[in-house]
Homo-oligomer: A and B are copies of this chain.
């Protein structure tokens, strides 16, 4: 993952779907793109039905014309393989490639992405189209990168059909080798589930009650791998026929998407690209944006990444699609750059007239260019142009947060102590506290090398392998600081409980032993002797070497420690056995940061975000004012947007941003 398309500065653009418009609009589009400073557009994503209107008959000339026109106007093309959604004729000929739900209901065409990830027919037709596209366009001068499919797994991550079942069995055979190993891993001695032949194994279709948890977990893993395999098949075609042109597929690293293990997908990309949409109902949406952007950076191995899609204003698929406030389009965009994006692209160039996404905002709104949105689009183009030199710079934090998709899938299975356990809850809580404190975080895989970090956060790592546990213990032993939160270290990679007391994988490291979980009632709240409150979760915990930092003063476990600290080797291991309120979380993170010697990027006021990117020749300070007031932030250097010098501090209006090349003084 080291290739970057030939694009200057911070790339700027969006999805462009010219087939939805008459050709006379195309020229206007190209001219408006120039006006806005657009440098790259993604073309052809949903064009299969027009590119191949009948099986084997391709009509590519119109697309070539579009690419020619774009090239003439200096706009580069991120060209899709066009395979995101099959044309109606394909599922009409092969209804068996339509996906099937766990309850056996088949999903039909009419929307998009109606294909079974395991279908050999779909695979063959998709790679055939990718081949045709590569053969025709590999040498087109506008082409700078390839865009495989689109948001793989967005709607069809899990298919339960018989074809998928057979593929799942193949995956299991490769994973376990022999059936005995599978029976062990799945714990089939329970509930008379022992398999006597591979043919008996099925996806976790609806059952009279809770299906086998390891079956569910492996099906989640299989489903992610199956889609990744599809990506690889298309990518390999492109690498063969269009060598040197980087290939990506747009990820969906955001809170509500959980089905793809992007840490496995990242290394397969020439560059990592991501789509991110704000949850309009979340008043802290900008913190979720930062979290997701940092996680995308982590998935990209710390390299710059490509923001393939976000929205100019409202989307269409949430219950209430709030429009963006004035200035928010630019602030959201710059926030992604502040967290490592070297491209700012949108869905989509021109808002559709028809179809399911017609109320998704576009860079060119229904109301045309005499609009708030268009004026902000043009302004953003100028801003990105002005800060172009930050491209290629990188970030590095003293704090690492461990993330793992298998842990996420396993942590949220059914039949757990409480339905309130949500994997992302504690990662977001800890990240939010650090964000408030201005402290940068690297999001890394649970098995990452931790040696360079001052502080490692291990929230809700429910599933922990022996290797991960050993890596964290070794890190602490050599002087590291770690924080583990509840519902971590409970099971191994097969979702088998680690016996002897919770949290099994971390018991020795943390110097505690939990006998029993004591989840709380929905509205129940407990108090700690340090004044904190907590809810949802408590544990009957005994100290086995650790010290109690705070204990319950009420609830079912009066006097039992809730927060512990354990000197381990040359380092320190903290455990939080309950869900602390936001203030208590902040206090705890501050204490940990102080102990570990972690400092904020810049000391500033709440709601003002500051990040730093380091380039070969200079470092860049990104300052984003998320507040409703004017703020002053210490800084020194040159404001790249205004060109003005910054001496000691920069003043930002409500909602404004600045990018400062640091230096001087």
Q: Which residues of A contact B (CB under 8 A)?
A: 17, 19-20, 46-50, 53-54, 82, 84-89, 92, 99, 103-114, 154-156, 186-197, 199-202, 204-215, 281, 313-314, 316-317, 319-323, 325, 351-359, 361, 365-368, 371-373, 414-420, 494-497, 499-502, 513-522, 540, 556
Contacts and interface: CB of A to CB of B under 8 A. Distances in A.
B107 A207 contact: yes
A186 B99 contact: no
B353 A88 contact: no
Given A187-B354, A367-B514, A500-B367, A418 B192 contact: no
Contact of A500 (B48, B54, B191, B368): B368
Most chain-B CB neighbours within 10 Å: which of A206, A356, A515? A356
Closest 4 CB pairs of A and B: A187-B354, A190-B355, A110-B211, A155-B208
A366 to B, nearest CB: 5
B519 A322 contact: yes
Contact of A105 (B104, B314, B540): B104
Given A111-B191, A368-B501, A415 B356 contact: yes
A200 B89 CA distance: 6
Nearest to A191: B112
Given A17-B190, A314-B517, A156 B114 contact: no
A210 B318 CA distance: 12
B53 A112 contact: no
Contacts of A355: 187, 190-191, 193, 212-213
A366 B497 contact: yes
A234 B305 CA distance: 65
Contacts of A193: 49, 85, 87-88, 109-110, 112, 355
A367 B515 contact: yes
30 contacts: A17-B190, A19-B189, A20-B187, A20-B190, A49-B192, A54-B196, A82-B192, A86-B192, A88-B193, A89-B197, A89-B200, A108-B207, A111-B191, A111-B208, A111-B212, A112-B191, A155-B208, A191-B356, A193-B355, A213-B354, A213-B356, A321-B417, A323-B518, A325-B556, A354-B494, A366-B497, A367-B516, A368-B500, A371-B515, A372-B515
A202 B154 CA distance: 23
A199 B515 contact: no
Contacts of A358: 213, 415, 496-497
Contacts of A354: 186-187, 190, 213-214, 494-497
B17 A205 contact: no
Nearest to A211: B110
The majority secondary structure among interface residues of chain A is loop
A135 B334 CA distance: 77
Contact of A196 (B89, B416, B519): B89
B522 A320 contact: yes
B497 A353 contact: yes
A663 to B, nearest CB: 39
Given A187-B20, A209-B113, A497-B354, A517 B192 contact: no
A520 B367 contact: no
Contact of A210 (B200, B356, B372): B356
A328 B17 CA distance: 60
A427 to B, nearest CB: 22
A84 B193 CA distance: 11
A196 B111 CA distance: 17
Nearest to A507: B367
A228 B111 CA distance: 29
B207 A513 contact: no
A206 B87 contact: no
A253 to B, nearest CB: 19
Contact of A516 (B155, B187, B313, B500): B313
Contacts of A361: 516
A204 B114 CA distance: 13
B191 A85 contact: yes
A359 B416 contact: yes
Given A88-B194, A108-B206, A321-B417, 20 more contacts: A17-B190, A46-B192, A88-B193, A88-B196, A92-B200, A99-B208, A110-B202, A187-B353, A187-B355, A190-B352, A190-B357, A211-B356, A212-B356, A214-B354, A319-B418, A320-B522, A352-B497, A356-B414, A358-B415, A359-B416
